Amino acid sequence: AEPPAWAPGPAQAAALLEEAADLLVLHRDFAAAVERCEAGCDSLGPGPGPESFAEVKCSLCVVGIQALAEMNRWREVLSWVLQYYHVPEHLPPKVLELCILLYSKVGEPQVMLESGSSWLRAQGNQRLPELGPLLGLYVEQVLLPLGLFEGAEELVRGCALEDSEQQLQLLGSVCESRARWARREETRSAAEEQQDPAAETLLGVLSQKLLTMVTLLRRALRSMSNHFYFLPYKKMLLATFLLYLVVVRLDPASPTSLPFIYKLVQLFRQAWAAVLSPIHRPPIRD
């Protein structure tokens, strides 16, 4: 069905806002709620608009963001609000806050990297009371999780914060996060370095056992060659041995066994070649 035609203006936008909120909260009709929000924003025109209906437009975007998130359409949120404000610098503080929280929650903080920086660096936003809280939120939820410590320090020092104590707290948070990041990297590197020698040692033990078993297997095959000489039998015996080695002696679920797979395959190929190499049969007596 064709959506109803609504007359433009703040009064109609306010009515659409109320209807969208009811659809979102009471009826859980998220698609219809987004439709009402879009109609309301269209009726108010592009850009931030006059102060008389700026709050209405901001509220329409807030309801629309929530409805999109409920439908798992969070990837559309930033582009959706920017079509009504055109540039990130014009986003209302509440809308920017919701976008940062949303993309941080879904593990995609990099989406807000450029938009958040543009808003915080804009001259027109430097005197807003929301500058300090939004700067802290952007640093904690976007820059630090991405490891952008130098950019965070530069941004904190560059913003015109009236509260010098807040600036010092943010710089302290950046230093602490940098230290934690460095410790995690050191721990990861140390763990990788310790794992390699242990893996090589275990692989060496396995290869020695494998060579010993191959030697014993070849001797057994030579002793049996006086009675029968069947290649399928040797293949079956080798397959049984390799199955025992892989399934019984190695635990595939163990993380330490994973790095050996490629090298073990090479060892198995060598063992196969060694066992199945031609065995000198005794001369046939007349």
- Segments of the chain with pLDDT less than 70: 1-8, 47-52, 190, 192-286
Q: Check whether residue 208 and residue 162 sit in a common domain.
A: no
Q: What is the pTM of this model?
A: 0.64
Q: What is the 3-state secondary structure (H, E, C) of 87-99?
A: CHHHCCHHHHHHH
Q: Check whether residue 140 and residue 239 sit in a common domain.
A: no
Distance CA 280, CA 74 (A): 72
Q: Check residue 235 and give its pLDDT.
A: 52
Looking at the 3D structure of the chain, how many domains does it have? Answer: 2
Q: What is the CATH classification number for the domain harbouring 52?
A: 1.25.40
Q: Is residue 274 part of a domain?
A: no
Q: Check residue 50 and give its pLDDT.
A: 63
Q: Check whether residue 103 and residue 184 sit in a common domain.
A: yes
Q: Is residue 79 part of a domain?
A: yes
Q: Is residue 276 part of a domain?
A: no
Q: Check whether residue 63 and residue 162 sit in a common domain.
A: yes
Distance CA 88, CA 82 (A): 7
Tokens encoding 101: 């929280």
- Can you list the pairs that 127-134 forms with residues at least 24 positions away whose Cβ atoms lie under 8 Å? 127/160, 128/93, 130/93, 130/97, 131/159, 131/160, 131/161, 132/161, 132/162, 132/163, 132/166, 133/97, 134/93, 134/96, 134/97, 134/100
Q: Is residue 268 part of a domain?
A: no
Q: Check residue 254 and give its pLDDT.
A: 44
Euclidean distance between the first and the last CA atom of the chain, given in angstroms as a whole number: 100
Tokens encoding 115: 């938009």
* Residue percentage of the chain with pLDDT more than 70: 61
Q: Check residue 82 and give its pLDDT.
A: 96
Q: Check residue 11 and give its pLDDT.
A: 87
Q: Which residues contact 144 (CB under 8 A, 6 or more apart)?
A: 152, 173, 174, 177
Q: Is 16 exposed, middle or buried (0-12, 13-18, 19+ CB in 10 A)?
A: buried
Q: Check whether residue 129 and residue 20 sit in a common domain.
A: yes
Q: Check whether residue 186 and residue 214 sit in a common domain.
A: no
Q: Check residue 211 and give its pLDDT.
A: 62
Distance CA 266, CA 241 (A): 16
Q: What is the largest CA-CA distance in the chain?
A: 116
Q: Bin 115: left if φ > 0, else alpha if -120 < ψ < 50, else beta.
A: alpha
Tokens encoding 148: 């952008």
Write out the residue range of the structural domain in which residue 159 sits. 8-193
Distance CA 213, CA 241 (A): 9
pLDDT tens digits, residue range 197-235? 555 665 566 566 656 665 665 665 565 544 444 445 455
Tokens encoding 117: 């920086």
